[in-house]
């Protein structure tokens, strides 16, 4: 079974509008972390935002916010006031608790291509 599912292969949004990129996850761990990365056409992977499973508040980083619904196992990325430079591939990823150690492998979804129209 897929641990991270991104159901939207592609999304379109008008410049200055908000857009939500969907991510659902599957884990039996109580402690885990959720990440979003951006990959522009140049290919590098850019960290955007992180949400821990015990964090009570939804994470925010500038124009990015993470809509974390633990019971539904979803961690959607919301981008407000979209800009042309937001056009990129976006990946959701999950780190499961690796037996209490400080590291954990990240599992990635298949990604969503976001296109921002002027």
User: Applying CB under 8 A, does 1 fall inside the site for another protein?
Assistant: no
Residue 13 belongs to what H/E stretch?
strand 10-14
Which residue shows structure tokens 């590291």?
103
Show Cβ contacts of residue 3 under 8 Å, excluding neighbours closer than 6 positions: 25, 26, 27, 94, 107
User: Applying CB under 8 A, does 90 fall inside the site for another protein?
Assistant: no
User: Applying CB under 8 A, does 101 fall inside the site for another protein?
Assistant: yes
When the beta carbons of 44 and 56 are compared against another protein, the nearer one is 44
Number of residues that bind another protein (CB under 8 A): 24
Q: Which residues pair with 7 in a beta bridge?
A: none
Give least dist CB 49 to another protein, A: 10
Do the beta carbons of residue 13 and residue 114 sit within 8 Å?
yes
Q: How much helix, strand and coil, in percent to the nearest 5, is found in the chain?
A: 5, 50, 45
When the beta carbons of 28 and 118 are compared against another protein, the nearer one is 28
User: Applying CB under 8 A, does 102 fall inside the site for another protein?
Assistant: yes
**From the centroid of its chain, how far is CA 17?**
18
When the beta carbons of 79 and 92 are compared against another protein, the nearer one is 92
Per-residue interface string for the shown chain with another protein, residues 49-68, x marking contact by CB under 8 A = -x------------------
Please select the residue that binds another protein; options are 1, 30, 43, 72, rule is CB under 8 A: 43
């Amino acid at each position: 079974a897929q641990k991270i599912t991104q159901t939207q292969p592609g999304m379109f949004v008008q410049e200055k509008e908000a857009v939500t990129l969907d991510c659902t996850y599957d884990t039996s761990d109580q402690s885990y972390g959720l990440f979003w990365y951006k990959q522009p056409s140049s290919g590098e992977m850019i960290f955007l935002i992180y949400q821990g499973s015990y964090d009570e508040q939804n994470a925010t980083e500038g124009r990015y916010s993470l809509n974390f619904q633990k019971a539904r196992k979803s961690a959607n990325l919301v981008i407000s006031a979209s800009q042309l430079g937001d056009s990129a591939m976006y990946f959701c990823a999950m780190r499961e608790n690796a037996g209490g150690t400080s590291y954990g492998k990240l599992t990635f979804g298949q990604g969503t291509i976001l296109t921002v129209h002027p």
